[in-house]
């Protein structure tokens, strides 16, 4: 009897097949060993290329498609889909479109606004922030987002620097308006989100919205003809001085809005935004990202660590936005049962420390942390698409073709880039900290700041590596390791970061020296264990025969500065040390910190529970280091 194999003989593969299989396996293992991030890099670069190609196709077709255009199309395509969920109330794409139309109609009827006019917006996180923003954008206006934490002189400076025709103020910020109203320029028309006003000459908006038409404004009012034209002003402390109005173009909004998509978010995602909308992270990446995806956004009035995960469960949140401080606050909450019982799969943000990153993942589950780097006004962005803990992103040969940048040597004493004998800057080696600079060209422009050409010019470096080249100075020190991962190292200049905000030291010192007993103030940031960023500290020189009035000092800083900019520590010195270039010496003071065991000068601490500056004792210092004293 014949066997099965005799009836149906198995085919014999050609002799080259086993060799090919071994070769493919060898190549696979070689790739894993020598190029472990090849496929992740390729996927990311393909996304970057795809998005760039799409925008180039629009340009070749003579079409200018903005994020606002995409939103209006989505309101037609998916009118009933939730766009915003706020305090349990759902606002569909159509709802937001129609209410923003009403607001556009109000200003069209009551104000002689022209295309390109600026309107300043002083509002907290609420749906009407977005309605007003979109409504004004439909009129072709530039909208300036004001930081509602900024007070008095700084706020007046912000308003004047963007030269608005109108200031729109939220109902919960009327106290702030009352502070600045007497000194506000008379040609600025003020509108408040209320039905009646107790301020003479101040217009009300809510009553007029209710009576306005929902019809779209004429298309010629809102159609953009250039992606590089300004559409927003977002304020940033930058590296020096008072806040500056960074010019944000349609192009930058489109790039920011693509961030969530690039990290893998989809139209089915529900994004939770607790960051303030005046920040580019919340407005461009968050709201803009929702529009790019056609997704849903859950908007929170203010971040709450105790309500965070219950909100995520209640609204089936799948994507969250963070800054480093936010993750730390969540990790500092008491441990509860079921903390991994949620649907969050992506966390997008920046500034999280390595230890907090690990603790966050251990405690709250397999969430992909999508760390990125980008400055509001900058022309460079890095995205950590591999999930490498601690890194802000990764670069390679092809990425640098799209977005040319370098890390250059920096002189910390002179506070400027190091140039060789030929006058050129020098690149740092891998593993060394260097100043991040990015090339300014037609594809990666720098739009500068509104109202101050000098500030714009100060952010640019000329003749860096060759004659005629031009680079944007990020003001950030970075390190690139041998695997081409990038890590944030520190900031340069007169600035530090605290509570997720940039603090300009000159702004703080200007407020302190207004006191009649202060001769000079040197403000800097000091590291505090288990806290992101640096806490503010001021070294003070008292006037001759004057004494330190701690009560007056407390009143001054809390009145004129946002809470995150108030110095937590004071140090009283007899004389101010200067550098060789006659600048205030900060490096030694930063190194010495706020330890009363090693510093003989009197030290004081801002105790928020007592609403006063108190003597910084060794016991109090220990409480701060151990985390028992809340900062």
Is the domain of 486 the same as that of 591? no
What strand order describes the sheet that includes 203-204?
203-204, 189-192, 166-169, 118-122, 142-145, 230-236, 244-249
Considering only 18-27, 507-516, 594-603, which range has the smallest mean pLDDT? Answer: 18-27
Domain closes at, from 491, 510, 540? 491
CA atoms within 13 A of residue 224's CA, in its CB half-sphere: 23
Q: Which residue has the tokens 């580019």?
A: 280
pLDDT band at 152 (very low <50, low <70, confident <90, very high): confident
Residue 108 scores a pLDDT above 80 = yes
Identify whether 511 is part of a domain.
yes
Identify whether 555 is part of a domain.
yes
Is the domain of 475 the same as that of 534? no
CA distance 192 to 170: 6
Q: What is the pLDDT of residues 581-600, one digit of tens each?
A: 446 677 788 889 999 999 99
User: Which residues are paired to 189 by β-bridges?
Assistant: 166
pLDDT computed for residue 582 by the predictor? 44
Q: What is the pLDDT of residues 534-573, one digit of tens each?
A: 999 999 999 888 899 999 999 999 988 989 999 999 999 9
User: Structural domain tally of the chain?
Assistant: 3
Is the domain of 95 the same as that of 181? yes
Domain closes at, from 469, 491, 513? 491
* Chain mean position to CA 337: 32
Q: Which residue has the tokens 């005629």?
A: 468
Is the domain of 455 the same as that of 518? no
Identify whether 56 is part of a domain.
no
Strand-pair category, 142-145 with 166-169? unpaired
User: Which residues are paired to 168 by β-bridges?
Assistant: 121, 191
Q: What percent of the chain has pLDDT over 90?
A: 64
Residue 366 scores a pLDDT above 80 = yes
pLDDT computed for residue 240 by the predictor? 53
Q: What is the pLDDT of residues 372-383, one digit of tens each?
A: 999 889 999 999
Is the domain of 315 the same as that of 365? yes
Contact indicator for 507, 560 with CB cutoff of 8 Å: no
Residue 35 scores a pLDDT above 50 = yes
Residue ranges in 139-274 assigned as alpha helix (H): 152-162, 174-180, 206-211, 219-222, 250-257, 259-262
Is the domain of 330 the same as that of 469? no
- The CATH number of whichever domain residue 224 belongs to comes to 3.40.50.12780
CA distance 157 to 281: 23
Identify whether 326 is part of a domain.
yes
- The CATH number of whichever domain residue 457 belongs to comes to 2.30.38.10
Residue 581's domain spans which residues?
495-626
Give the residue-averaged pLDDT of 357-361: 94
Token pair of 562 as six digits: 């946002």
Contact indicator for 101, 137 with CB cutoff of 8 Å: no
Give the residue-averaged pLDDT of 271-285: 96
pLDDT computed for residue 212 by the predictor? 95
Identify whether 386 is part of a domain.
no
Is the domain of 449 the same as that of 349? no
Strand-pair category, 433-439 with 89-92? unpaired
CA distance 43 to 59: 25
The mean pLDDT of the chain is: 89
- The CATH number of whichever domain residue 601 belongs to comes to 3.30.300.30
Give the residue-averaged pLDDT of 206-231: 87
Nearest CA among 124, 69, 134, 70 for reference residue 96: 134
Residue 384 scores a pLDDT above 90 = yes
Is the domain of 450 the same as that of 346? no
Residue 213 scores a pLDDT above 70 = yes
Q: Which residue has the tokens 């003070």?
A: 540
Identify whether 29 is part of a domain.
no
Is the domain of 321 the same as that of 430? no
Is the domain of 570 the same as that of 484? no
Is the domain of 505 the same as that of 591? yes
Q: What percent of the chain has pLDDT over 70?
A: 92
CA dihedral 410, 412, 415, 420 (to 10 degrees): -40
Out of 35-39, 159-163, 493-497, give the one with best mean pLDDT.
159-163
Is the domain of 299 the same as that of 268? yes
Out of 253-257, 265-269, 321-325, 356-360, give the one with best mean pLDDT.
265-269
3-class SS of residue 389: coil
Rounded to the nearest 5 degrees, what angle is found at the Cα of 605, between the Cα atoms of 600 and 606?
160
């Amino acid at each position: 009897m014949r066997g099965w194999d005799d009836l149906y003989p198995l085919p014999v593969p050609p002799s080259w097949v086993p060799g090919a299989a071994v070769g493919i396996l060898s190549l696979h293992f070689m790739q894993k060993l020598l190029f472990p991030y090849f496929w992740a890099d390729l996927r990311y670069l393909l996304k970057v290329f795809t998005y760039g190609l799409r925008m180039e196709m629009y340009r070749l077709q003579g079409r200018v498609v903005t994020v606002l255009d995409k939103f209006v199309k989505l309101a037609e395509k998916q009118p009933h889909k939730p766009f915003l969920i706020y305090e349990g109330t759902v606002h569909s794409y159509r709802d937001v479109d129609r209410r923003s139309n009403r607001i556009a109609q109000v200003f069209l009827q009551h104000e002689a606004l022209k295309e390109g006019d600026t309107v300043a917006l002083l509002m907290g996180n609420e749906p009407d922030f977005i309605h007003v923003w979109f409504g004004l954008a439909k009129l072709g206006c530039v909208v300036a987002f004001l930081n509602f934490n900024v007070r008095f002189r700084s706020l007046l400076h912000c308003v004047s620097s963007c030269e608005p025709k109108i200031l729109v103020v939220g109902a919960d910020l009327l106290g702030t308006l009352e502070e600045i109203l007497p000194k506000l320029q008379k040609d600025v028309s003020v509108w408040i989100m209320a039905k009646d006003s107790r301020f003479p000459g101040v217009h009300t908006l809510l009553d007029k919205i209710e009576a306005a038409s929902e019809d779209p404004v004429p298309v010629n009012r809102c159609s953009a003809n250039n992606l590089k034209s300004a559409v927003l002003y977002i304020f940033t402390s930058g590296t020096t001085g008072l806040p500056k109005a960074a010019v944000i173009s349609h192009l930058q909004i489109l790039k920011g809005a693509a961030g969530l998509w690039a990290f893998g978010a989809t139209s089915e995602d529900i994004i939770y935004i607790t960051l303030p909308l005046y920040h580019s992270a919340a407005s461009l990446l968050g709201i803009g990202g929702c529009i790019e995806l056609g997704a849903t956004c859950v908007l929170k009035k203010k971040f709450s660590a105790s309500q965070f995960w219950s909100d995520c469960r209640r609204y089936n949140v799948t994507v969250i936005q963070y800054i480093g401080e936010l993750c730390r606050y969540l990790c500092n909450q008491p441990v509860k049962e079921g903390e991994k019982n949620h649907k969050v799969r992506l966390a997008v943000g920046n500034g999280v420390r390595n230890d907090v990153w690990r603790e966050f993942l251990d405690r709250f589950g397999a969430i992909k942390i999508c760390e990125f780097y980008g400055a509001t006004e900058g022309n460079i962005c890095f995205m950590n698409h591999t999930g490498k803990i601690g890194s802000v992103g990764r670069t390679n040969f092809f990425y640098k073709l799209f977005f040319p940048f370098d890390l250059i040597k920096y002189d910390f004493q002179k506070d400027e880039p190091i140039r060789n004998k030929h006058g050129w800057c020098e690149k740092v080696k891998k593993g060394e900290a260097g100043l991040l600079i990015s090339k300014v060209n037609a594809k990666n422009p720098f739009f500068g700041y509104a109202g101050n050409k000098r500030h714009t010019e100060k952010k640019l470096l000329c003749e860096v590596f060759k004659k005629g080249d031009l680079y944007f100075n990020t003001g950030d020190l970075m390190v690139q390791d041998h695997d081409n991962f990038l890590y944030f190292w520190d900031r340069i200049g007169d600035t530090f970061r605290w509570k997720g905000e940039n603090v300009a030291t000159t702004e703080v010192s200007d407020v302190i020296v207004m006191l009649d007993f202060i001769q000079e103030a040197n403000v800097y940031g000091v590291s505090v264990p288990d806290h992101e960023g640096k806490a503010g500290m001021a070294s003070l020189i008292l006037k001759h025969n004057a004494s330190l009035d701690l009560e007056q000092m407390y009143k001054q800083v809390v009145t004129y500065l946002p809470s995150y900019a108030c110095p937590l520590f004071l140090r009283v010195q007899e004389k101010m040390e200067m550098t060789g270039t006659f600048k205030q010496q900060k490096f030694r003071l930063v190194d010495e910190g706020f330890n009363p065991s090693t510093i003989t000068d009197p030290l004081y601490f801002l105790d928020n529970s007592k609403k006063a500056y108190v003597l910084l004792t060794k016991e109090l210092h220990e409480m701060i280091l151990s985390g028992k004293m809340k900062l």
